[in-house]
């Protein structure tokens, strides 16, 4: 993890002025069955899109609140990252999308019996949403309904 001093001045000033939100209590639900019996949905905020998906709109003030559905049988090398943040080096995600969308590692866990199954679809959001009101009000419930309809027991969120 880097030091704040490593960021450009514009980023340091933004971080100092940003109104950080506190969620209390943190939403949490214990699993009702062992992970080996659960269906898992993957959520990444890396701004990944599939080969036929429109990229996220990096020009939206406050961040593009939409999401993309990523097929459960995607070849991770087909994913393209459209994260708008300049606060991290994007080369790692380009070299190995599993860093932020660890679908291959999760498949390994299914194959060895540690995880029950993976959902037929996963979700990708744009990270660095600095105006999250519409995202929380409209988009998150819609995404949750998709996973609920699929019978997802647990979700792994990989924040970027």
pLDDT tens digits, one per residue of 125-159: 998 888 888 888 999 999 999 999 999 999 999 98
pLDDT of 86 above 80: no
Q: Which of 4-13, 22-31, 70-79, 83-92 has the highest mean pLDDT?
A: 70-79
Helix (H, G, I), strand (E, B) or coil at 80: strand
Look at residue 24 in the predicted model and tell me its pLDDT: 80
pLDDT of 2 above 70: no
Look at residue 1 in the predicted model and tell me its pLDDT: 58
> pLDDT averaged over the chain?
90
Among residues 48, 38, 49, the alpha carbon closest in space to that of 99 is found at: 48
Q: In the chain, how many H helices and how many E strands?
A: 5, 7
pTM for the whole thing? 0.87
Among 86-90, 100-104, 124-128, 138-142, where is mean pLDDT lowest? 86-90
């Amino acid at each position: 993890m880097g030091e704040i001093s490593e960021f450009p001045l514009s980023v340091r000033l933004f971080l100092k002025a940003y109104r950080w939100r506190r969620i209390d209590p943190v939403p949490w639900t214990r699993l009702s069955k062992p992970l080996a019996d659960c269906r898992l949905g993957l959520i990444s905020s890396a701004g990944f899109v599939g080969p036929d998906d429109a990229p996220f709109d990096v020009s939206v003030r406050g961040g593009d609140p939409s999401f993309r559905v990523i097929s459960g049988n995607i070849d991770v090398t087909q994913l393209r990252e459209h994260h708008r943040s300049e606060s991290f080096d994007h080369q790692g995600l380009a070299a190995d999308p599993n860093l932020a969308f660890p679908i291959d590692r999760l498949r390994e866990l299914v194959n060895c019996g540690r995880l029950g199954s993976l959902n037929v679809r996963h979700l990708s959001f744009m990270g660095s949403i600095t105006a999250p009101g519409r995202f929380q009000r409209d988009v998150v419930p819609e995404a949750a309904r998709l996973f609920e309809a699929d019978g997802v027991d647990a979700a792994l969120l990989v924040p970027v």
